[in-house]
Structures are given as C-alpha cells and as structure tokens.
Structure 1
Amino acid sequence: MAKSYCLHQSPPAIAEMLLLLISAFCLLMADASIGVCYGTLGDNLPSAPQVIALCNKYNINRLRLYNPNQAILKALKGNLSISVIVGVPNEELPGIARNPSTAKSWVRNNILNYANVNFRYIAVGNEISPSSNLAPYVVPSMENIHSAISAARLGYRIKVSTSLSMEILARSYPPSTSVFKSEILSSFIIPIVNFLVKNQSPLLLSVYPYFAFSSNTKDISLAYALFTSPSTVVKDGNYEYQNLFDAMVDATHAALEKTGGTNVEIVVSESGWPSAGGTATTLENARIYNSNLIKHVEKGTPRRPGKPVETYVFDLIDENQKSPELEKHWGLFLPNQQPKYPMTFDKNTMNDSIIS
C-alpha cells in the first residue's frame, strides 16, 4: 500500500516526530514495575488483537516480545499505555554483528515502521550461553543496534541490552560473595557490562526461584522460594533475605559491583512458576508465587531497598507447542483467555482479587 507524508517530511522524520510525541506522553504516565512475557509457541492461542485487549482489560501495561512479531506490533499500534521489550532473535545476531547496515534495516523495519508503538528496550539475543558459538556476536550486535537507534535519535528513550540467565554466576550464595564465572569474564561479561555502563542500559536477567528450588529441595524450602517464609532465611552481613528472588537478584548486583557495574540496573525479564508438569507445580503454588512477586518487586531488594525491580512474569498464556511438558504450563491465562487463578496487576489494589 502506498504511503503519503505531510509537510514534505521524509518517512524517518515522521517516525522521529511520532516517537518524540510518544516519549512526552510516556513521561506523564505512572510507572508500574510489572510486565508480562508474551510467548507465541502455541497452535491454539488467541489473535494478537485479542491478546492486547486482554492486557488492557487486566491492566497489564508492559509486555516482552521475543521477536518483532508483525501481527503483535500492528495490534499494539497507537496503544501507548503498553510499553514493549522487543527481542532480536538469536539467529539474527551474526548478520547484525557483521554488518551495521543489517542493524539499520532491522531498526527501520521493526522500530521506525512502528513509530506509534511504545518501545522501551531492545533485547539483543535471549539467554545466549557464554559457551555458545553465538556468544562472540552479542556485544557487536548490541553496538550496531544501538548505533542504528541513536542515528534515529531514539537512544535516549529505547535502551539496548541483552537477556542473560543466571548461569553466568560462578556462585550466588551468600549473595554478597557472588562473582561471574572467571572463564567468561574478559570475553563475555566485561564487554557487556561496559556497554551497559556506557549507554546507561539495564541488564535483562532471567530469575527463576522455581528452578533453584526444584533442583535442590533438600536445602531450599518451598516457603523461601514462594515468598512465604515468616522470617529471615539467609543472613548475609547487614543484609537479610526472606525470599529466594531477592537473594538471586542481589547476587547478580554483587557480581556486577565487582566488575564495574555498580550503577547497572537489573530488569528481571523473566520470572514465574509453572502450574503443572514438575516438582511443586500446582495452580496454588503458581498463584502464590506470581501474586507475591507482583506485590514484592515494588519494595526493592536488601541491596537496593525502596527501588522497585522492573519485572516481567513468564508467561502470559500457556504455550502448548513448547517442550518438555513443564514448559507448557507457565501461563497466567489459558488459551481461551480465562485466568488460571485470581490475581491483580494494579499495585493500588493488590489483594489477589482482580483476575477471577
């Protein structure tokens, strides 16, 4: 379809104007700390417009997309109340790392062409293992995407990062002793940290107390993992931990502090609890974890008290094409758009009674 532009402006100029207007609007919006991951590996999922309507209905105003799904981005057009993390798929990193023009094309096709979508972060790669053959491409891809975003005069608003898992830590207990694995420090971690510091970008981190608990039920109590422990479980110098989520986030803070990343913010880009398929995977445990997570992150962590932890719950809707079985049951909603259990995303009315 042919496009027309007013005032003799070029398409990029129009995009920049729209994004500047979005930025001004977003500064006026209340800042909530909770979002939801929107995965699409299912053959029975509702349409993108239905999902966005579902988010609006339940006051979900932050979404993480794992790729620039065109149908979802079209459904988000003009919906400035929802901010978006959009992912650069892992397999695209080599081409983007090698060729800045490929990065510019990616930004043009997936960001500038959706100028009235409220983009927040670009996640360059998802949980790429430091030992993977893709690892050398992570930072060069981040740099080229950032350069393309900056050239479009959006670097002040859309931050570029990558999403990592906690496999990057050599140890995490007690949190203050945490360090990154020495064998990946110079080749992988320090370049990422230096990029984040230079560009004032956050580290996107997957934090799953469920997996820590299920792999070590002897030493980790269910209450500690579910935020239901009645008292301190781990005392770490001046810091006291009553839940595993805080301990995991602060372990990463401690490791960052030892590598020049003291001021790097952590955004928990995935966290959740499955309702079936594994150890302690019940609807009730999923409800308890996710509802407590939503309430808790507003308080910060012992190392960062009072500073909300921006967090994305995994997953929005059950994805029946994932494997193994455990991976199919992380959704807050069923594919028919019915909630699995009561929950609210409104921090002003957090009484676990909104979604029902």
Structure 2
Amino acid sequence: MASLFARTKRFSWTTLLLLLELFTIVLHTADAQIGVCYGMMGNNLPPANEVIDLYRSNNIRRMRLYDPNEAALQALRNSGIELILGVPNSDLQGLATNVDTARQWVQRNVLNFWPSVKIKYVAVGNEVNPVGGSSWQAQYVLPAVQNVYQAIRAQGLHDQIKVTTVIDTTLIGNSFPPSQGSFRGDVRSYLDPIIGYLLYAGAPLLVNIYPYFSYSGNPRDISLPYALFTSPNVMVWDGQYGYQNLFDAILDSVHAAIDNTRIGYVEVVVSESGWPSDGGFGATYDNARVYLENLVRRSSRGSPRRPSKPTETYIFALFDENNKSPEIEKHFGLFNPNKQKKYPFGFGTKRNEKVVIDDFNATISLKSDM
C-alpha cells in the first residue's frame, strides 16, 4: 500500500490540521474537569483499595478526601488520580498554634505519599463559619492554612500543591443578580485575609455549591428546570450575561463576590455539588440523575462570567453513606455501597481514542460512556 505521504498530491494538509484540531477539541470536551468526593460515613462501604479500583474503572480522575485516611492514601499510590486532601476542622487549632505540628502533619500526610499520590490541593478546614456554631474555629483557619503552606513551601512544592480552604454559599450575602454578588458584612473580616493569602499563593478558593438546597428552599421562585440544567432558554439576564441554569448563577455570584472585595483575582473550584435521590422535597431518583448527568457535561466549560476555562467540579458523593444525618444526607451517592452504579451515565472517554486519516476519507473514532 502506498504511504500517505507518497500521495500528498491527493491529500489536503489543511484538512489534516483541521481534523487534528477537531480531535483535540473533542478530547478536551470528553476530559471534563470532574471529580468525586469520597466520604466514609457508612458502615457498609467497601475497603479503600476497592474504592480506588472503582474510580479507575469508571474513569474518575479526581477525588476529594475529607481527611488523610491512610488506607485511602496508600491505595491511591500510582493511581494517577488527582487529590484534594482535606484537613478536618478538628485539626485546625493544633495546626494553627504550633508550627511543628503543621510540619509533622505535612510530613506524615503529604510528603510520605508525594509524588506517587498526586495531591493537588490541601483543603484546610471545611465550611467554617465565623458566625454561628463553628465560629470558635474561624480564628484558626488562616493561621493553619499559612503553617501548612510554609511547611510545603519549605520542600519546594508550593507550586505543585496548593493550600486552601473550603467555604459554603451561606457566606454570600447577596447573590442576585450574580454580578452584584457580595460576601456578608459580618464575614468579611474572616474572608478578606483568606482571599488575600490565596492571591499571594496563587491558590483557588474551594466552594461547595448546591442548587438543590436553593430550589428546595424556594420552589415558588426557582423553577425545577432552572435548577436541573434543563431550561431551554435563558432564565435570567444580568447585563451581558445570560443564565440558563442556577448552578452558573450561584457560581458567578461567588466570582463577583471575590471581585467585589477588590483584593484581586482568585479562581474558584467547586469542591462539592450534588442532588439527593431521596429524603426531602424534590429529592427523587430522576431529578438526581438529570442534575448529575448535566453537571458532568457542564464541567467541561466555564461560567458566563468566566467562560475561558472549564470549571473544576467535584460531585458529592461517591456512595450513599448510611451513618450521615439528617436523612437527606444519606442519599447523595453516585454508587450503591455494593459498588453498583446508581445512575447510567459515565465520566468521559475511555482512553482508546484513535484518529484514522486516509486521503479524502478521514474519520475520528472516540469511545465514550457519556
């Protein structure tokens, strides 16, 4: 058979370049910026090594882990899975008040596993609120973040492993319209220094975003299609930005709230989002399936306010966890504890892509379980 290059008079290099560009775009779309949170609050869950196999067999390439569980970290070695490694709120005071404690924590839970475990972020604290039940912990968040950061920086790893914290959207005071998003006045003294640190360290802010709770708390004003990504038209216009779904509107209100501090540009990673299949108003199997499938698809693009980069997003959660409370918290899983899929959709390309280019007959074959 004559080679392709021997027949260039019948082949358009412009066509080849266009096809390769298309191939790159398709791959980028298939590699959605999606991860899954691995919670362990269940008494019927499989061991960590089987969980890591479940991630890999389902092509889930990112994980959020809420504490440095040793079995999970050992199982993650050489898996290729990128990791958000959590620092529990119960550890904040010790890490904030003792530099040696922070160094030891980093040695034990980060350096002992790096680089065979691809730790991308260390999330110091989860949803600490300076007003309310966890307010006593708020004073420790930034010092703990800084001490962990300095311990990682001392090893020259601060560009590879970013140290940050996780907030929820109750810290947003105004969210509508999204461009007027702002943090509550009573949390600014807590958040502004954290945002300043994130700007300095080049780290993102991790935010848990749940359209479900916005919808279930106000179904009169928020339509179900708007919450589930199924609205056929733009539902909210905010100047030049059109919003067809509630997730983008909430996310952009966070972007605007950061911008409106006038501290500087900080990226946002959605560290949790999900929809329960039971246990509350609007919590049905079909609603959860539609929301989660659309969330996976949506993660390959940005928001109206930040359109140029896909939104890194982590689904909550891997399993239904029967030790959680209240009842609704038990029904966010993508999988049943027996490792069977709860929903039919998948998580992107299976890595057996191929490009076949032959004269004027050029095809691109991609296999995906989406």
Secondary structure at the residue paired with 1:114? Answer: coil
Which residue of 2 is the match for residue 208 of structure 1?
Answer: 210
Name the structure 2 match of 1:21: none
Question: Once the two structures are superposed, what CA deviation does each residue of 1:67-104 show, in whole Å capped at 9, x if it has no partner?
Answer: 0001100111121x201001011011011101111100
AA partner of residue 67 (structure 2):
N
- Conserved in 2, the CA contact under 8 Å of 1:226 and 1:285? yes
Counterpart selection for 1:173 from 172, 176, 192:
176
Letter in 1 for 2:108: N
What SS class does the counterpart of residue 44 from structure 1 fall into? coil
| CA distance, structure 2, for counterparts of residue 157 and residue 37 of structure 1 | 21
1:107 is the counterpart of 2:106 = yes
Partner of 2:63: 63
Larger Rg: 2
Distance in structure 2 (CA, Å) of the matches to 1:239 and 1:262: 21
Is residue 32–residue 296 contact of structure 2 (8 Å, CA) maintained in 1?
no
Structure 1 length-normalised TM: 0.88
CA shift at 1:153, angstroms?
1.2
* Matches for 1:159-308 after TM superposition, within 5 Å: 159-185=162-188, 187-308=189-310
Task: Report the equivalent of 1:158.
Answer: 161
CA contact (8 A) 1:37 1:314 kept: yes
The CA deviation string for residues 168-195 of structure 1, in whole angstroms up to 9 with x for no partner, is 111101101111111221x211101001
User: Residue 134 of structure 1: SS of its match in structure 2?
Assistant: helix
CA positional deviation for 1:58: 0.3
Whichever residue aligns with residue 97 of structure 1, its letter is: A
In 2, Cα distance between equivalents of 1:284 and 1:107: 42
Q: Secondary structure at the match of 1:254?
A: helix
- 1:146 shift after superposition: 0.2
Q: Which runs of 5+ in 2 are unaligned?
A: 1-26, 352-365
Is the CA contact 1:225–1:245 (under 8 Å) kept in the aligned structure 2? yes
Q: Structure 1: where are the runs of 5+ without partners? A: 1-28
Q: Which residue of 2 aligns with 1:335?
A: 337
Contact (CA 8 Å) 2:233, 2:244: kept in 1 or not?
Answer: yes
Amino acid at match of 1:260: R
Mapped partners of 1:75, 1:348: distance in 2: 21
Q: Distance in 2 between matches of 1:210 and 1:183?
A: 25
Map of 1:72 onto structure 2:
72
Percent of paired sites with the same residue: 51
CA contact under 8 A between 1:193 and 1:260: conserved in structure 2?
no
Check 1:111–1:33 CA distance in 2 against 1; reply closer, same or farther (3 A cut). same
SS of corresponding position for 2:179: helix
Q: How far does residue 113 in structure 1 lie from its aligned partner after superposition? A: 1.0
Structure 2 match to 1:128: 128
Q: 1:325 to 1:124 in 2, by over 3 A?
A: same
Question: What's the Cα RMSD here?
Answer: 1.8
**Cα displacement (A) at 1:152:** 1.3
For residue 136 of structure 1, what is the amino acid of its counterpart? Q
The equivalent residue for 1:54 is 54
Total equivalences in the alignment? 324
Give the CA deviation at 1:32.
4.4
The alignment status of 1:38 with 2:38, answered yes or no, reads yes
Which secondary structure state, in structure 1, belongs to the residue aligned with residue 344 of structure 2? coil
Contact 1:298 1:306 in 2 (8 A): no
Seen in structure 2, the aligned counterparts of structure 1 residues 247 and 306 have a Cα distance that, compared at 3 Å, is same
For normalisation by structure 2, the TM-score amounts to: 0.85
1:76 and 1:43, CA in 2 relative to 1: closer, same or farther beyond 3 A?
same
How far, CA to CA, are the matches of 1:210 and 1:32 in structure 2? 22
**Following the alignment from structure 2 to structure 1, what is the Cα–Cα distance between the partners of residues 65 and 186?**
31
Kept after mapping to 2: 8 A contact 1:41/1:319: yes
Partner residue of 1:137?
Answer: 140
